[in-house]
Amino acid sequence: MTGLLGRSIIVTGGARGIGAAIATEFVKTGASVVIADVRDDDGAQLAHSLGPSARFHHLDVTDSDNWVRVLTETEDEFGSLLALVNNAGILDFGTIESEHPDLFRHVLDVNLFGAWLGMHLAAPRLRVAGGGVIVNISSTAGLTGYAGIGGYVASKWGLRGLTKAAAVELGAANVRVCSVHPGPIHTPMTAGLPESMAAAQPLPRFGEPEEIAAMVRFLITEATFSTGSEFVADGGATAGQALVLESVE
Ligand code: NDP
């Protein structure tokens, strides 16, 4: 197991949803966690409820100065960086024909450029610390296509590819980089989406944020020979659809 003592973990988009579950999971395992998000009230409230090994810092992942401040304050407060979880993300709606160009760019900016910027600024610190882990939260939308969310799909495929490039570059520095690909998970992001979306999956339900948090913990603390790899938690959605064909029975 990778030692957590005296090392810190940053979770972007950690104020709610999957990020909040990841932050909570790591506080339970004894790590020091920085919740970094644009949602100041939610983030500060969560950090307070998790106790002294959690802190909230405002971070817009697209802002370089924000990143430098958060990375510096994290190491000052909690010790050298062990892991960065690039979890912050936004979902767009619109077809290729109907989506506004500004929205498409904004989704790429947050979901892809934001994660790149985090890796760009955190990697030198992980090198100096003798190694560490970066986990990029992609999606099944980084493994296949979906109609009506083209910017999101593009950003999540991009993040999957960037993960592999970073893994190849940083392996010699003992920095592992992996991507996680959740299917539909119960969070504020998916609050308006119908449960029937998951009906054709082998496991016909939405997942819970804690199920993704458990995978991220495994990747950071146990998966010491995995880098550049994709870890899927989607109820089997990308394995195929549960078609009922009478002639097959
Ligand atoms: P939520 O919307 O519930 O939480 C995401 C958090 O990230 C919010 O607090 C959000 O703030 C914040 N955020 C948005 N933009 C920025 C930014 N520029 N800088 C910092 N923080 C920001 O999302 P989920 O928990 O559902 O999703 C977390 C990650 O998991 C995302 O990357 C998402 O794409 C991915 N994912 C989610 C799935 C799901 O079914 N829920 C499935 C597959 C992948 P605000 O609300 O103000 O935007």
pLDDT digits (tens, 9 = 90+) for 89-121: 999 999 999 999 999 999 999 999 999 999 999
DSSP-assigned beta bridge partners for residue 207? 185
How much is the pTM?
A: 0.97
Atom of ligand 1 nearest to the CA of 89: 32
Question: Tell me: the pLDDT tens digits for 59-97?
Answer: 999 999 999 999 999 999 999 999 999 999 999 999 999
Domains within the chain, CATH numbers bracketed = 8-233 (3.40.50.720)
pLDDT at 248 > cutoff 60: no
Instruction: Calculate how far, in angstroms, residue 172's C-alpha sits from the geometric centre of ligand 1.
Output: 31
Q: Which two tokens stand for residue 25?
A: 């999971």
Q: Which two tokens stand for residue 221?
A: 């603390």
Is 146 a catalytic site residue?
Answer: no
Mean pLDDT across the stretch 145-151? 97
Atom of ligand 1 nearest to the CA of 19: 25
Q: What angle do CA 91, 95, 97 make, to 5 degrees?
A: 140
pLDDT at 236 > cutoff 60: yes
Q: Would you list the DSSP string of 102-148?
A: HHHHHHHIIIIIHHHHHHHHHHHHHHHTT-EEEEEE--GGGTS--TT
Band (49; pLDDT cuts 50, 70, 90):
very high
Catalytic residue among 26, 152, 157, 206: 152
Which residue is closest in CA terms to ligand 1's atom 39? 185
